[in-house]
Amino acid sequence: MSGMLIVGAGLAGLTVAETLRAEGYAGPVTLLGDEPHAPYQRPPLSKGFLQGETAEAQLMMRTEEAMTKKNIELKVGAGVTAIDRAARQVTLADGSTLAYDGLALCTGARLRPLPLAGAELEGVCGLRSLDDSKAIKAALETAQNVVIIGGGFIGLEVAAVARRQGKRVTVLEAAERLMARVVPPHVSRFYLDLHTSQGVEVVLAAAVAELTGSDGRIAAVRTGDGREFPADLVLVGIGVIANAELAQAAGLDVAGAIVVDACSRTSDPAIVAAGDCTVRRMEDGSLRRLESVQNAMEQAKSAAVSLLGRERPFTATPWFWSDQYDVKLQMAGLTAGYDTVVTRGAAAVDATTQKFSWYYFKAGRLLAIDSLNQSPDHLTGRKLLDKGISPTPEQAADTGFDLASLLA
């Protein structure tokens, strides 16, 4: 018996391995990761870890003993370079090969590079890995002027940390609004006001043209309109590219990312894929790509069950969170296509002490909820959405109405 091989020792890979065991699989389980670290959590890398509130040891998802106890063999520094589907084996960077009965691709994503002159200067960073976060943390000790290229979640979280450390922070966003790909306009406005109130300079519709340096170190970022922003640390946060090349070279169905179904199956019955390296084919044929902890975990659970020849589709409502300053945003459901939005709870004068939620509806049915420092709304909302139960917009807006009562 060759057993199950998992490529990528991140959240999705670890979850596939543990789910195989939880489902009673007794054969060999091998987790291959190309990083030098055992599986660790990425969300704190732009939040608590960067801020100095979370220690490196707390990022680690499992101890060595826990892995041994579950009889999961973890190989770090073990990059997979090719898959031979006919022979059911993979080749590692050192030239060795490993055979599999079932293969899970959990290769995640890598940073999208900034295609501009000066992007290679010292002091220009991206944030994906523990080592990236450590480098930024060290650079923040001496940096005074921090420029963030890209006003998405990660860029804005780093902006908040840097600002809290008293740095002069500028966010340059190419779009007309912040986080435009994932949140509606009023949420972008909320975050623009939040960052501005904290002293961050946010430049929208910014066309970054060039990064200039002296002695190989970053000195400034120039935009197309001739403005120059002094910088001793630049964070490039312009999104990621799915690590799908292995799958593509092996002839699997790839559309920017590895195409999977609701059960995380690829176009090869012996291969599943989960997490940031995937895009999901929905029932109507459309493709949905999510990059989140929940997506990685849920897809991984489905993937492990599929490897065992059974079906457990991922049906839960998507959710996500982001921490910036003292504001926790929790999102449940997807807002695309909403026609009505109502607010539940009062907006406070101080942006960092807000406590309310937006409820999104389409044709009278609840689609999604964005909560600000209002976890109970988020948790109830997730249950409502999972069960397909919808309050009316009037009930959602009325804080006197107990939304949880609809679940009874």
Ligand X SMILES: Cc1cc2nc3c(=O)[nH]c(=O)nc-3n(C[C@H](O)[C@H](O)[C@H](O)COP(=O)(O)OP(=O)(O)OC[C@H]3O[C@@H](n4cnc5c(N)ncnc54)[C@H](O)[C@@H]3O)c2cc1C
Sheet (strand 201-203) strand order: 124-125, 233-236, 145-149, 168-172, 201-203
Does position 155 interact with ligand X (CB under 6 A)? The reply is no
8 near ligand X (CB under 6 A): yes
Q: Which stretch binds ligand X (CB under 6 A): 167-175, 225-233, 290-298, 391-399?
A: 290-298
Binding-site member from 275, 318, 333, 391 for ligand X (CB under 6 A): 275
Binding ligand X (rule: CB under 6 A), the pick from 4, 6, 7, 187 is 7
Q: Does 11 bind ligand X (CB under 6 A)?
A: yes
Q: Which of 94, 78, 85 is nearest to 37 (CA)?
A: 78
| Cβ atoms of residues 377 and 344 within 8 Å | yes
Give, as one character, the DSSP assignment of residue 230: E
Among 116, 175, 293, 406, binds ligand X (CB under 6 A): 293
Site for ligand X in 14-53 (CB under 6 A): 32-35, 42-43, 45-46
Structure tokens that stand for 121 in this block: 């200067």
Which of 232/276 has CB closer to ligand X? 276
Cα-based angle 329, 333, 336 (whole degrees, multiple of 5): 100
Sign of torsion over alpha carbons 255, 261, 262, 264: negative
Q: Which of 4, 5, 12, 179 binds ligand X (CB under 6 A)?
A: 12
Strand arrangement, sheet containing 228-230: 208-214, 217-223, 228-230
Cα diameter, the chain: 66
| Given 170, 322, 354, 395, the residue binding ligand X (CB under 6 A) | 322
Binding to ligand X by residue 152, rule CB under 6 A? no
The answer to whether 175 contacts ligand X (rule: CB under 6 A) is no
What span, in angstroms and rounded, lies between the C-alpha atoms of 333 and 320? 9
Of the candidates 48, 79, 345, 393, which one interacts with ligand X according to CB under 6 A? Answer: 79
Instruction: Rule CB under 6 A: say whether 306 interacts with ligand X.
Output: no
Show the tokens assigned to 82. 């090719």
Binder to ligand X among 4, 5, 83, 106 (CB under 6 A)? 106
Contact residues: ligand X, CB under 6 A = 7-13, 32-35, 42-43, 45-46, 79-80, 106-109, 127-128, 154, 243, 246, 275-276, 291-293, 296, 320-322
